[in-house]
Amino acid sequence: MMGVMMDPEELMARMSRGPRGQRPIPEVAVETLRELHARYDKVPFVAGDIVTFRRGAPVDGRYVGQPHVVLEVLISGQLATPDDPGCRDHVRLAAITPSGDIATVWTECWPLEMWDISKVPAPAQEERS
């Protein structure tokens, strides 16, 4: 059986489509999981990098595509806490919340990617009369 190469972002988008509880087709699920495995436990970021959460990341959608700064990197990962069992946090991030506050969080690296300003929509231009 031949595999079909797909853009990882498209795979993540397909995984999140459909009614709640509907499982993705197995081929898409397998390719998505393989792509995640390739990123898992690798720390490609350094303090000062500007990153964002990928589409399909398990976070509030308001933070996907928004810039975050990497404050600290733990190569081996911080052990899971009772609040977040099973999580191996690698990076400490800071971001500006929708209310304008600055918030920090520890998170794993796999749902992150470098932030790309070219993907940010330009602000709407006001029409002058």
Same domain for 32 and 66, yes or no, is no
In this prediction, residue 2 has a pLDDT band, given cuts at 50, 70 and 90, of: very low
d(C-alpha 66, C-alpha 49), whole Å: 13
d(C-alpha 86, C-alpha 108), whole Å: 11
Same domain for 99 and 74, yes or no, is yes
What does the pLDDT look like over 69-98, one tens digit per residue? 999 988 765 555 556 555 667 889 999 988
Same domain for 99 and 71, yes or no, is yes
Does position 58 have pLDDT exceeding 90, yes or no? Answer: no
Same domain for 65 and 88, yes or no, is yes
In this prediction, residue 22 has a pLDDT band, given cuts at 50, 70 and 90, of: low
Does position 11 have pLDDT exceeding 60, yes or no? Answer: no
Same domain for 17 and 56, yes or no, is no
Which one has a higher pLDDT value, 121 or 65? 65
**Residue 129 lies inside a defined structural domain of this protein:** no
Which one has a higher pLDDT value, 116 or 11? 116
In this prediction, residue 30 has a pLDDT band, given cuts at 50, 70 and 90, of: confident
pLDDT score at 94: 95
Give the side-chain half-sphere CA count within 13 A for 109: 23
Same domain for 112 and 54, yes or no, is yes
The residues near 84 (Cβ < 8 Å, ≥ 6 apart) are none
87 CA to centre of own chain:
15
**Residue 124 lies inside a defined structural domain of this protein:** no
Same domain for 54 and 103, yes or no, is yes
Same domain for 55 and 94, yes or no, is yes
Same domain for 28 and 63, yes or no, is no
The residues near 59 (Cβ < 8 Å, ≥ 6 apart) are 53, 111
pLDDT score at 5: 46
Same domain for 90 and 68, yes or no, is yes
What does the pLDDT look like over 31-54, one tens digit per residue? 888 887 887 767 888 999 999 988
Same domain for 55 and 109, yes or no, is yes
Q: Which domain holds residue 25?
A: 8-39
Same domain for 80 and 32, yes or no, is no
**Residue 44 lies inside a defined structural domain of this protein:** no
**Residue 57 lies inside a defined structural domain of this protein:** yes
User: How many structural domains compose the chain?
Assistant: 2
